[in-house]
Amino acid sequence: MQSTFNHENETKTHVAMIMDGNGRWAQSRGMLRIEGHRRGMETVRKMVEAAPELGVGTLTLYAFSSDNWKRPAAEVEALMRLFQLYLKREVKKCIENGVRLSVVGRRDRFPQRLQRAMERAEEASRHCQRLHLRIAADYSARDMILRAAQRVASDESLSRELFARHLSGEPHDGEPTPDVDLLVRTGGEKRLSDFLLWECAYAELFFTPKMWPEFEKSDFKQAIDDFRHRERRFGEVPVAHANAA
Ligand code: FPP
């Protein structure tokens, strides 16, 4: 069944993406791995552009896991330069397109310059409401859960909702970030790799063998169409079956 392309007025979906396969994409073409990341940044632009039309209200991208610090220093440095470049070049466009940008994860291990660029991008785009783009950087879901638990250890009145806010490090007075509805992973692997473990409790999963630099808007649309045909039960039984023995 075909869905119409513009879903912008529907209930907003939270899509999380594990952008895997940059290195393999580049190496299989005789290029340096960093060239794959550079091309991967182009894919990020395309996805951010496509998301609102597909009915996506929140897009969380796994840009750098806490375990990625173990990569060769040259690759890590090149990734830092790319983040800096992205923030410098894209923030204006994000604001024009109503995209609010946030960074989730640890900040303190990034170069000061990059930390300042993250803060500036968040501040400048704070008022935007069409899409919430969250870039997960120096991110580990286990560490986020652990730190949130440490902060609230003795609060017995704590609810799941409040805990989720502690997890994302968001202020407690604005709209909370919704749970992930759909998790997309490119690059052929089928695992979560310490990404949004709490928030993905009821996420639908979509794995594709396509490498991130070759993932197109049409692939994103296909993942969303597939998601819209899933039956999400959240542990309940479908209404039609509720009275059956
Ligand atoms: C995983 O592919 C990808 C990364 C660790 C980095 C992702 C970075 C980008 C897409 C570019 C910049 C992003 C932003 C948001 C500005 P991999 O290197 O593990 O690929 P492999 O599994 O083929 O080695």
52-86 per-position pLDDT tens digit: 999 999 999 999 999 999 999 999 999 999 999 99
β partners of residue 137: 64
Q: CA–CA separation, 119 vs 101, rounded Å? A: 10
By annotation, the residues acting in catalysis are 20, 68
Distance 40 CA to ligand 1 centre (A): 7
Distance 174 CA to ligand 1 centre (A): 31
Domain positions in the chain: 8-230
Distance 9 CA to ligand 1 centre (A): 31
Q: CA–CA separation, 38 vs 75, rounded Å? A: 11
pLDDT of residue 158: 85
Is-contact 239 216, C-beta < 8 A?
Answer: no
The residue contributing the CA closest to ligand 1 atom 1 is 20
Q: What is the CB < 6 Å shell around ligand 1?
A: 19-24, 37, 40-41, 44, 61, 63-64, 68, 79, 82-83, 86, 135, 187, 212
Band (pLDDT 50/70/90 cuts) for residue 175 is confident
Architecture of domain 8-230: 3-Layer(aba) Sandwich (3.40)
β partners of residue 132: 58, 100
Residue 245 has pLDDT above 80, yes or no: no
